[in-house]
């Protein structure tokens, strides 16, 4: 029989007989089976893509959240007030001081390949570079979560701590 359903049946039987269930069998499967197979595929992909983060990766992600804004121009109080809140640094208490770096992450990561210098904590895993920044300083008269900041934009030397292999920025030292 040459009806579409007859072809499907023959394709399935042929694939099973040959031992290689292929795309045609998947495409011809009932909708519920396709949905279950898609769910299984997405679950397996999710498990492969979402790996448990180690300490260095968490610190790198935190560094990105707190300090990196390549698209931002910064420079004014409104920028600081919005970004500090958006980046969740005003939830429990007002973070007194923070610096946003307005450079591509690859430029920031390249600082990690410069000569090691001593960090404020005495470790020798800091590196120095020159970048565009906005420094946000809390005014002192505000309370979380409505913290208020004064902005100062400049291009200046910064010191960041790097860890891992490859080395990644994990802490803004100064």
- Say whether 67 is catalytic: yes
Q: How far apart are CA 8 and CA 19, in angstroms?
A: 16
102 is catalytic: no
Active site residues: 67, 171
């Amino acid at each position: 029989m040459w009806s579409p359903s007859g072809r499907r049946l023959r394709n399935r039987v042929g694939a099973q007989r040959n031992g290689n269930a292929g795309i045609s069998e998947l495409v011809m499967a009932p909708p519920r089976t396709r949905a279950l197979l898609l769910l299984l595929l997405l679950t397996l992909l999710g498990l492969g893509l979402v790996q448990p983060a180690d300490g260095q990766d968490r610190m790198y992600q935190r560094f990105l959240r707190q300090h990196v804004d390549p698209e931002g121009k910064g420079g004014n109080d409104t920028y600081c007030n919005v970004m500090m809140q958006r980046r969740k640094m005003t939830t429990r208490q007002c973070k007194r001081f923070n610096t946003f770096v307005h450079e591509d992450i690859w430029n920031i990561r390249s600082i990690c390949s410069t000569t090691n210098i001593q960090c404020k904590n005495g470790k020798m895993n800091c590196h120095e570079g020159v970048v565009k920044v906005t420094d946000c300083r809390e005014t002192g008269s505000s309370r979380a979560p409505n913290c208020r900041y004064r902005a100062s934009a400049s291009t200046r030397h910064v010191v960041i701590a790097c860890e891992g292999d490859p080395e990644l920025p994990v802490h803004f030292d100064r």
